[in-house]
Amino acid sequence: MTQLIWNGIFVGAFYALVALGYSMVYGIIKLLNFAHGDIYMVGAFAGFAMIGLLGSVSAAATLPVLLVVLVAAMLLSGAGGLLLERVAYRPLRGSPRLSVLITAVGASFALEYGMRLVAGPNPRVYGLRLEGSSVELLGARVSMQQVALVVVAVALMIALQYLVMRTRTGRAMRAIAEDSTASLLMGINVNAVISRTFFIGSALAGAAGVMAGAYYGKIDFLMGFVIGLKAFTAAVIGGIGNIKGAMLGGLTLGLLESLGTGWLGGQWRDVFAFGFLIVFLVVRPTGILGERVTERV
């Protein structure tokens, strides 16, 4: 049982990191960025390329090297998010929401199959793998690399929370979420702030991609698809547009999946996860933290 809960928390941390980007973009411009999962894939591949460049670093320094790679890949995937917003979404700002949604789906395919052209269809294996011993904790087997990844994920989430609540950019984001026209009139550069939002959300997804690559080892050009859907589900469960909601939603979804698999068997995992999405949409469409919807970012 504790093992199931730990598994759920660990997977949930990944979902939460990706769900944050979904939620921020939705909160600020009401766009469901369906290409967000593929930014996660771009991050994983950027990390893969970085490791290839660094090549012959000693295996003893795995963790510091990984942190460097992580930061570099976050910058790259953040830049990817910026570009995506500039090319695919900004020209359509003000057009009906359905057109933007369709563009997002198109952008998703463009990223997936673009990466296939660049990196090939075969799965790639990370040259740098997190290895570590594991300990028994309350009957669950917890490995050191899992703890390290959860710590990195939590640190990123705290940094984001600080950024949104305590900085000028964060205040501008919250203002645009309230009313973008009024913010424009008050002298906020709306386009720049939206770009920054995309950068931050994409960088978080890229971080999750690198962490998945280093932990699981295998990356491929379609890896963003399933996690994109799961992160979307997590964002809805937590209350889309709400940062704390995205974190909570990620953890909830991870736990639901883990416990559901333990209870019903592995083939029911996705049925269970997406079934819950439907239940939430019917019973509580605003998600767990939905009542705070006015403070979305």
Partner 1 sequence: MRRRRLARLPLVAAASAALLLTACGNGLLSEDKAGDSSSGPILLGMLAPMSGSSAAIGPYMKNGAQLAVTEINAKGGVAGRKLELRVEDDACDAKTATAGANKLVTQGVKVSVGGYCSGATLPTLPIFAKADVPMLIPAANSNELVNQHLPNVFLLNGTGTQQADAALAYLTKIQSARVAVMDDNTSYSKDIADLTAERLKQAGGPELAGRDSVTPGESDYSANVTAVLKTKPDTIYWTGYFQEGGLIIRQLRQAGYQGKILVADGSVDAKLIEIAGAKSAQGVLATMTPTPETIESAKGWIQSYKATFNSDPGPYSTQSYDAVRVAAEAIRAAGSTDGKAVDKALEALKDFPTFAGPLTFTKDHTLSRGGFLILKVSDGHFVLEDSLQ
Query: Looking at 67, 92, 270, 293, which residue binds partner 1 (CB under 8 A)?
Result: 270
Binding mask 220-239 for partner 1 (x = CB under 8 A): x-xx-xxx------------
19/269 Cα distance (integer angstroms): 19
With contacts defined by CB under 8 A, name the span among 2-10, 91-99, 100-108, 288-296 that binds partner 1: 2-10
Structure tokens at 58: 């000693």
With contacts defined by CB under 8 A, name the span among 81-89, 93-101, 219-227, 278-286 that binds partner 1: 219-227
| 86 belongs to the binding site for partner 1 (CB under 8 A) | no
How many C-alpha atoms does 13 have within 13 Å on its Cβ side? 22
CB-nearer residue toward partner 1: 119 or 163 = 119
Element (H, E) at 293: none
CB-nearer residue toward partner 1: 91 or 123 = 123
Query: Looking at 57, 92, 143, 281, which residue binds partner 1 (CB under 8 A)?
Result: 143
Task: Read off φ and ψ for residue 126, nearest 5 degrees.
Answer: -60, 135
36/173 Cα distance (integer angstroms): 19
Structure tokens at 76: 């790259």
Q: Give the CA radius of gyration of the chain.
A: 19
With contacts defined by CB under 8 A, name the span among 28-36, 51-59, 199-207, 216-224 that binds partner 1: 216-224
Torsion sign over Cα 64, 68, 71, 76: negative
CB-nearer residue toward partner 1: 148 or 297 = 148
CB-nearer residue toward partner 1: 96 or 266 = 266
Number of residues that bind partner 1 (CB under 8 A): 36
6/214 Cα distance (integer angstroms): 19
Binding mask 99-128 for partner 1 (x = CB under 8 A): -----------------x---xxxx-x---
- Per-residue DSSP letter, 219: E
